[in-house]
Structure 1
Amino acid sequence: MTETYGGASCPFFPPQSSITRLRLGDPSLDPIKQTAKNVVDGAFRDVLTSPAARDLFTAKVSDEEISNRPLDEWFGFASSTADITEDDEFLRLCCAVALLHAFVQANWTGPDLDLKPLDIISGSAVTEDLLHQKSITELAYGGEPAYHLAQVPVFLRLAKLLLDLPYRHCKSIPWWRLRAWLVHEQVLDEPVAVPSDLLVSVEPLLQDFASHPDLAGRLILEQGLLEHHLGHDKAAADYFIRAARATQLEYELTGALGKRTKFQQNDITQLVLLAESRTREDDESAADESNPGDAVPSAAVSESVADSSKSVMPDTLALNDDTLLERTEFTSSSAGSRLARIDPSSQSPLHPLDQCILLALCLNVRNTSPSHGLTAEQMSPYVSRVISHPRNWSVHTMALLLRSRLEAHRTRTVERSTLQLQALVDQMPTADSTITERLRYFHAIPLPSKWEMERELALRFLSIGVVKSALEIFERLEMWEEVVKCWQSMERRDKGIAIVRDLLEGRKAEAETVISREKTSSERRRQVLDATRKAKLWCLLGDLEPENALEHYNRAWDTSQESSGRAMRSLGGYYFARADYPNAITCLHRAVSINPLLGRSWFILGCAYVRVEDWEGARSSFTRCVTIDDEDGESWNNLASVYLRMGEAGKKIEAEDNADGELEEQAAQLTVSDDTSKSIPFANKMLAFRALKQGLKFGYDSWRMWSNYMIVAMDVGELNEACRALARVVEERSAKDGEQSVDEDVLERLVDAVTRAPANANDAVEGDISTGTVARNPNEGHGLLRQVTDLFERTILPRVSSSRIFRARARLLTWQGLWEEVVNAYLEGYRCSSAGTMEKGETDVGKWREAVEEVVDIADVLTNFGPRVEGFNWKLQARSIVRTFMGRTKDFEDEPEWARLTVLQEEIRKEE
């Protein structure tokens, strides 16, 4: 499994390699081994200032060319790889990992870095300002700018350049490229697509890790975290579950009796996560095997690894609430659970890697349950299980951060939530734990960068109304878009406009940057403002000045040299809102070509295609939407709409007009017409049916989607599903729209589907009733009867009543032979009809004539079914109905139809 050079192993993660057992003070260490050990121990200065590394990072271009040449040409990395030795290749890997982790230390984990770029990069014309500007510009990717105040960004840029070189001896390179990409993604404003072979390239490593479950689990977990960051939640969930299986972590979310408040008298069932790590051979080997992230992929683990339990953990703030307990007090174990042997109140500590997996699974709960109302309740047990046993500084920090997010929306916990987040921000520069411990599990958790954590704190302040504190943080972080939003919330849009214009025109320098780089000239400021960020400012100005938006967005596109995805997204939205759909399509197509990961751009592009009746383009766009986010119910709905329109010339998807002209409102109101044409291929109808069925999992409360689903289900013969959909529409609409919430045509077709089968259940089965192999079609006859009956009795009639609904109900009861209920249903229908509700003084002759027909019909019903109801005086009921109607409508005695009522009255009298 390992590759040897000079008696040592090339870094390939195996825990039993010769590097693994190196110890501090070992006199046998050769320079290569010592370099690997320094990387693991976080001694990045020693690695990167060594003579070999200095030679690697000495600029090889002239002083005149250095400012105009990209960083990859400064050092000639690519030109010297032809005959590279194993030792040189290993040194490059060590330097790349040291650079990557130095960047992570400076921007994520802390403590403050004791290393500056000029300490390692040699060149008479090289300055920190030049390095910063070039690296930030080159780190911009996929049309998205890199965060300009990231510390030592040149370290990340150089690490990626080194890792992108060809390697012949070190097989772990794909893993390190994966890690470098995930770090790079978090520096960008928006996620962008990674190289297509990035995840595939690490798969061969899993075969080599077959005997090392922690290594396999860790690699799978990191693949999942990348998918999570890119928004591929379903794929990420699969990776997280695979990681748990690989490390043999046992876990189960279940219930156990316990108390949550101080004054609770009776135990009630509380959610609890039961989890148990597999038994490792010993702590040290466990640390070794789960430690590829320390530095060089393997594993030169110093003695300090075993001392992680002695380090100081981040402060866990107490709740100090007068009602809620600090943690749930469980009084019994979970009966029936497969992990029932575990006492919920005293679970054993989990291995730190298993804690990372639980936190990732917790992210999956959040992603797959965004609208169910159970998200916080489901996530809390995961987080509590990790917090209860701190094992690693970074992992515990991540758990506290997740708890802070969960508690941000509850009145009793919002104070601790904000204070805890502030404490986590404050701890980063401290040296309360070793660099090695902080970095050990960094790649296995979604820990946000320092600026993202401070941004989250500012947003938390903003949510509770502390606008000034939020504004101060945003200004310090130079996040101008958020600064502008703060001023807008204070109704000072003019202030936001002034800030953006000052930045663009050089009148306002970004203070932190100026101080750190000793710049005072606004002219110099304009020169170093990279094109991508400047384009973003022009877009922001366009958002603030709608009257000049088109000019500003085009200026942004030109400034970025036609590379700004933000500019094209803004232009596409501008044209779409003004119904200029061809231009909107052109701009949005460019935007998704630059960054194809933003589902919203694909959604608006699909809507624009719909407006111009380009069904194939719309299908492709909405398909990309649901590929990016398979929980996007609106995109599933629109995809179904498109399937029903493909191949139909001259037909449009109905769109409601929007008075406000809001982009999202217009895009969201695409609905399927009720009139589905017979010319639509059945295959397209089935595709629409399946798309709507998938979308309803995530748009359960959207009655429009249920209505569309009902219509399509009727069209493809899925009447069982149509019945369910009609019930949901009534539940959602009846309170506001009354009988309009019931599609009576659909209801009658459902009744027809039941009643066209033989009324005798034994005559209406498929199969041999004597052998018990009976099959019923769920979409007709007795297979559909129960659901249609429930539709009437449990959903429609308790909420809605109309004459047509009761008549449909009566036909169903007639088929069943329930004569008393049939008569009652027809009578209820009559009471809701025009005849039953007509008052004295009615002058509408047309309405009266319709009412006469209803009186004749109810008389016929009573004549036909009345005698079948035992003890029911149908004649008296019929005479009373006719007499009452004639008494209320005497004003129409001169009408010809009045004679019909007289004859009817005589016929009833004769029956008596």
Structure 2
Amino acid sequence: MEALLHSYLLLAASPEELAQDTYLNCEQKNQYYNITAAILSGNSYTVLQELDQHASIPSEINESSIINSLSKLADELVIQDNKLSLLFSIASLQTFIQNNYTGPSTPINSLEILFDIESNDAKIKSLLNETLVSSLTVAGQTSYGLVDHPVLLIFSLLLLERLTNQQTLFNTVLDDTPIPTISKDKDNYLLNIAHWWRARALMTHISLLAEPSGHQPSIAASILESIDLVHSISSSLPTDTPENLKKKLYVIYYLENTKCSLIINTEHLCLPSLIKVKKLTNFKFVLTGARAKRTKFQQTAHSGLIILAESFENMAKKSNITDSNTVEQTPENFDLNSDLLLEKPFFESIGSEPLDEQIVKKQKANISGDEGLLDDKILPLAIRQENIPRELQVLDPNNQPKLSDYDEIQLLLRLYTIRQTTPAKDPLVEEELSAIVSRILYQNGSKNWTIFSRSLWERSIIETAKAKTIERGLLQMQSLVEELGLKISTRLVPQNVDETGSSEVRMKYIHQLPFLARWDLDAMLAEKYMSLGVLRSAVEIYERLEMACEAALCYAAVGEESQAEQILLKRIKNHPRDARAYSILGDIKQDPALWEKAWEIGKYVNAKNSLGRYYYKPPKNSGVTQDFSLALKHLNDSLRQYTLNFETWYFYGCIGLECGKMQLAAEAFSRCVSLDDTNAMAWSNLSAAYVNQGKLKEAFSCLNRATRTDSQKNWRIWENYMIVAFKLREWDEVLLSCKKLIDINKDRAGEGAIDLPIVEKLVEILVSSDYPKDDETKLTYFQKSCIDFICNQLPAVITNNGRIWRVISKVELWRNKPWNALDCYEKAFRAQSHNPDLEINEDVWNDTIDSCEELIAAYESLGEREGRHGKGSFVCKDWKYKSRSTIKSLMSRGKNNWDGTEGWERLVEMRSQI
């Protein structure tokens, strides 16, 4: 029974689903059932009110004493009833999230519930709250100072640490991250459920910080990267449990795995989980192009991006029993009310594009070498109409079917992944994001509050970057901030939705989407004001939120460093343990002492990163010389404290390469590719470290990965790959890289893209064996590819290099095609004789004589051989005449300048021998 109850809690199922479960209805409804029903109804705070034990208030209130008091209470509860303690930890976490992330506020005083304290003792409450907020500091980063009910998050974390038998992260300095072990044994399902909730609580804790740091990110990631977490829970469920419920557990697991990667800045690890959850829900969607009208007076439709998507029928039907109750409980969606723009683009039907234009686009796509359907991307892409899956081709682009909630979350997570992995303000990326948001917003049917409000927020972020939609964007953002109903005393937008009973709906998918706290929404609104130049409004919001560091950065961004310094100095005076404030002040003043102070008081990793950059490239007026050893030391300190920072590992490795510490560089770039195995430059730099260590096979493997992940077609990576493959005598790869280099560089460098010594070596390898003389002997893959490269691709690039034509002639002779070989000799001579320096530079003249001599020798040796038309035909029947004509034309060009020279005498001798 417990496994089933906790499955409903993990899924945040509706109370109706719990009540309709036939298995639970057969069991006697006990205290665990009633608590589960209360949590699922959005009344978690009522569960906490049932606590009959309290933590004592220590005589001296400080972080250590408060944590010890709460830990003692947690120990007592776990000893008494660990199952009940798990439910209390869940209720505590959910209540904290409701009060800070989703709203509406709960009518409780958490300090009075957990501490033995009088209700009118305001001074003690204020001191307790301040101390509890300070206890949430991680690696020098203070949590947000105005967070509500911090004791609930701390109490939940302490309970979950006890329930999972893990070392506490409070009041403890740990050298190594205590990574938990997840068991797949179904008997340990309650332990794994506690691990899962601990990961959720840790992600909540991380969201209170300016950036992820400490051990929390590593622990949360390690819990959610083990699929055994779900295996043990699903296998412990009753045998008659619906498969749909088990399936949903796996779905939310992969969604939360993706969310964790986004939160801890390892967003490049999101794609595998997104692909798995897409297959699990059988979600069909694709990004493609369609003609659309965007303005009211537009006569001709122009191309635009659109997401065609359809949920699997069963998942859509069973996604949410309470859909009918959620229609009215959504934030207000403001109309655009534009005299020019349509409310949403009006798309022509997919397939109405003229046939001749489709053919042109198809040819272009084939030339670029792209596949028609790119399904392994963050957004599956259909380049051409026929590549759109059949079930999506029939959809009406202006009235697409309702998606299931889980599929909408998938789209939002892909949006966040794209935003974190692409350049900011890229027009094409903005169009992709807009297509995602539009697919979620503009559909009929019921809407979940969390998903709908998050989609409105993302649309507002996109619209505030455009002049014609900025008004609606800002109004919508302000409305969503007020919609939470948290800490809002004055409303600018009238409230027209009753919040009563909405907490259940708002909490349903909060653990599958990245957290956006009420202060984060306000801070983003301030960022938008700042980007628009409305500095005063931005600063007012930061001051109201008591975000001194953000306000200082705001002033520094517009060149008012003195004002920023004053704000930070005031912050440091009032909060002397705020390491982030010290570090930012150090960034503004470029003062290493301030960074050292930030590290001393809080092990703040960004302070060490700044010190590393400072000693790697000191400011010109600092009087400090470049010091690689000191830079590496500071970066090493930073990485020992927080090991998941890709940029710091990359910088660490680059310095190692620059100063010749190849073992250090190899270790750094190995960590880089473990964090992001799609980064081509990290693989390439790792190969460079291995090459310098003499580990060519390892370097070759790394470069192979780099070429497969290099979406930018970096020619340097391919050149390095070719060189290493050449040293290892991997001729197939040498040939491949040589082809690729020519494809990349031919438009820029022409025949300069051809690496002639490499081509000559490939030809030497090719002609070292006999060409097959019968049909039974087949060419090897290398021989086929090399012949195609030499005889078909190279001639398309060559303009005036005779040496390359002579190389091609060797292959044509090897293929028993002497007529082609002779043609190559003729082209080689023409390329040389057309040199404009022929009549003024004797070296060029002598080179032309050499080319002429080779052509005459070719005429003589090949002219009378059997031609391309078989017996009775010749390669060049009048070879003697052509030989004399060639010599005569060359003599006529050089007579005035080179008569009597050694080259001239050679020509005379050649003429006399014919």
Per the shorter chain, which TM-score range?
Answer: 0.7 to 0.9
Note the C-alpha offset of 1:823: 5.5
CA RMSD of aligned residues (A): 4.2
Give, as a single letter, the amino acid of the residue that structure 2 aligns with 1:384.
Answer: S
1:446 to 493, 510, 514: 514
Give, as a single letter, the amino acid of the residue that structure 2 aligns with 1:198.
Answer: I
2:893 to 884, 887, 900: 884
* Contact kept? 1:108, 1:450, Cα under 8 Å: yes
Give, as a single letter, the amino acid of the residue that structure 1 aligns with 2:257.
Answer: Q
1:16-54 residue CA offsets vs partner (Å, 9 max, x unmatched): 99992299xx9x998776554443333355443x3x43x
Give, as a single letter, the amino acid of the residue that structure 2 aligns with 1:273.
Answer: L
Give, as a single letter, the amino acid of the residue that structure 2 aligns with 1:751.
Answer: V
Are 2:503 and 1:503 equivalent residues in the alignment?
no
1:195-253 residue CA offsets vs partner (Å, 9 max, x unmatched): 2752347332233467313333223322332233234446533333433444x443132
* Contact kept? 2:11, 2:252, Cα under 8 Å: no
Note the C-alpha offset of 1:144: 4.4
1:351 to 404, 408, 419: 404
| Secondary structure, aligned partner of 2:345 | strand
| Secondary structure, aligned partner of 1:252 | strand
| Secondary structure, aligned partner of 1:273 | strand
Are 2:599 and 1:557 equivalent residues in the alignment?
yes
Give, as a single letter, the amino acid of the residue that structure 2 aligns with 1:622.
Answer: F
| Secondary structure, aligned partner of 1:60 | coil
Task: Determine the C-alpha separation between the residues in 2 that align with 1:282 and 1:111.
Answer: 29
Task: Determine the C-alpha separation between the residues in 2 that align with 1:418 and 1:741.
Answer: 51
| Secondary structure, aligned partner of 2:654 | helix
Task: Report what 1:108 is aligned to.
Answer: 101
1:758 to 770, 791, 801: 770
1:531-550 residue CA offsets vs partner (Å, 9 max, x unmatched): 2x3x222222222223xx32
2:690 to 632, 640, 643: 643
Q: 1:215 to 1:613 in 2, by over 3 A?
A: same
More divergent stretch after superposition (594-603 vs 871-880): 871-880
Task: Report what 2:676 is aligned to.
Answer: 629
| Secondary structure, aligned partner of 1:127 | helix
Task: Determine the C-alpha separation between the residues in 2 that align with 1:903 and 1:15.
Answer: 95
* Contact kept? 2:653, 2:664, Cα under 8 Å: yes
Note the C-alpha offset of 1:438: 1.0
1:242 to 272, 276, 291: 276
Segments of structure 1 that go 5 or more residues without pairing to the other structure are 289-303, 507-524, 648-679, 843-847
Note the C-alpha offset of 1:569: 1.9
| Secondary structure, aligned partner of 2:690 | helix
| Secondary structure, aligned partner of 1:583 | helix
Task: Report what 2:235 is aligned to.
Answer: 207
1:611-634 residue CA offsets vs partner (Å, 9 max, x unmatched): 443333322211110111122221
Note the C-alpha offset of 1:733: 4.8
* Contact kept? 1:398, 1:446, Cα under 8 Å: no
Task: Report what 1:62 is aligned to.
Answer: 58
Task: Report what 2:852 is aligned to.
Answer: 858
Task: Determine the C-alpha separation between the residues in 2 that align with 1:131 and 1:854.
Answer: 93
Q: 1:569 to 1:104 in 2, by over 3 A?
A: same
Task: Report what 1:424 is aligned to.
Answer: 480
Task: Determine the C-alpha separation between the residues in 1 that align with 2:304 and 2:595.
Answer: 56
Q: 1:349 to 1:166 in 2, by over 3 A?
A: same
Are 2:453 and 1:397 equivalent residues in the alignment?
yes
Are 2:608 and 1:568 equivalent residues in the alignment?
yes
* Contact kept? 2:323, 2:447, Cα under 8 Å: no
Task: Determine the C-alpha separation between the residues in 2 that align with 1:150 and 1:393.
Answer: 23
Q: 1:602 to 1:499 in 2, by over 3 A?
A: same
Q: 1:74 to 1:221 in 2, by over 3 A?
A: closer
Note the C-alpha offset of 1:551: 2.1
* Contact kept? 2:542, 2:548, Cα under 8 Å: yes
Task: Determine the C-alpha separation between the residues in 2 that align with 1:368 and 1:489.
Answer: 23
1:104-125 residue CA offsets vs partner (Å, 9 max, x unmatched): 2333223345444445344368
Q: Spell out the pairing of 1:699-710 with structure 2 (5 A cutoff).
A: 700-710=712-722
Task: Determine the C-alpha separation between the residues in 2 that align with 1:406 and 1:865.
Answer: 70
Task: Determine the C-alpha separation between the residues in 2 that align with 1:78 and 1:816.
Answer: 83
Task: Report what 2:250 is aligned to.
Answer: 216
Are 2:768 and 1:715 equivalent residues in the alignment?
no
Are 2:250 and 1:194 equivalent residues in the alignment?
no
Task: Report what 1:605 is aligned to.
Answer: 652
| Secondary structure, aligned partner of 2:56 | coil
| Secondary structure, aligned partner of 2:163 | coil
Q: 1:503 to 1:276 in 2, by over 3 A?
A: closer
Task: Determine the C-alpha separation between the residues in 1 that align with 2:538 and 2:402.
Answer: 38
* Contact kept? 2:718, 2:737, Cα under 8 Å: yes
Task: Determine the C-alpha separation between the residues in 1 that align with 2:71 and 2:251.
Answer: 37
Q: 1:103 to 1:758 in 2, by over 3 A?
A: same
Note the C-alpha offset of 1:909: 5.7
Task: Determine the C-alpha separation between the residues in 2 that align with 1:485 and 1:220.
Answer: 36
Give, as a single letter, the amino acid of the residue that structure 2 aligns with 1:607.
Answer: C
With structure 1 as the length reference, what TM-score do the two structures score? Answer: 0.76
Task: Report what 1:616 is aligned to.
Answer: 663
Task: Report what 1:787 is aligned to.
Answer: 789
| Secondary structure, aligned partner of 2:314 | coil
Task: Determine the C-alpha separation between the residues in 2 that align with 1:145 and 1:243.
Answer: 35
With structure 2 as the length reference, what TM-score do the two structures score? Answer: 0.76
Give, as a single letter, the amino acid of the residue that structure 2 aligns with 1:311.
Answer: Q
Give, as a single letter, the amino acid of the residue that structure 1 aligns with 2:223.
Answer: L
Give, as a single letter, the amino acid of the residue that structure 1 aligns with 2:204.
Answer: V
Task: Determine the C-alpha separation between the residues in 2 that align with 1:368 and 1:64.
Answer: 48
Give, as a single letter, the amino acid of the residue that structure 2 aligns with 1:2.
Answer: E
Give, as a single letter, the amino acid of the residue that structure 2 aligns with 1:567.
Answer: A
Q: Spell out the pairing of 1:256-267 with structure 2 (5 A cutoff).
A: 259-261=292-294, 263=298, 265=300
Note the C-alpha offset of 1:160: 1.4
| Secondary structure, aligned partner of 1:189 | coil
Task: Determine the C-alpha separation between the residues in 1 that align with 2:906 and 2:294.
Answer: 76
Q: Spell out the pairing of 1:526-537 with structure 2 (5 A cutoff).
A: 526=575, 529=576, 531=577, 533=578, 535-537=579-581
Q: 1:902 to 1:355 in 2, by over 3 A?
A: same
* Contact kept? 2:15, 2:41, Cα under 8 Å: no
1:408-428 residue CA offsets vs partner (Å, 9 max, x unmatched): 667766665555445433433
Are 2:344 and 1:326 equivalent residues in the alignment?
yes
Are 2:133 and 1:136 equivalent residues in the alignment?
yes
Note the C-alpha offset of 1:761: 6.8
Task: Determine the C-alpha separation between the residues in 2 that align with 1:615 and 1:323.
Answer: 58
* Contact kept? 1:609, 1:618, Cα under 8 Å: yes
Give, as a single letter, the amino acid of the residue that structure 1 aligns with 2:858.
Answer: N
1:589 to 630, 633, 636: 636
* Contact kept? 1:572, 1:585, Cα under 8 Å: yes
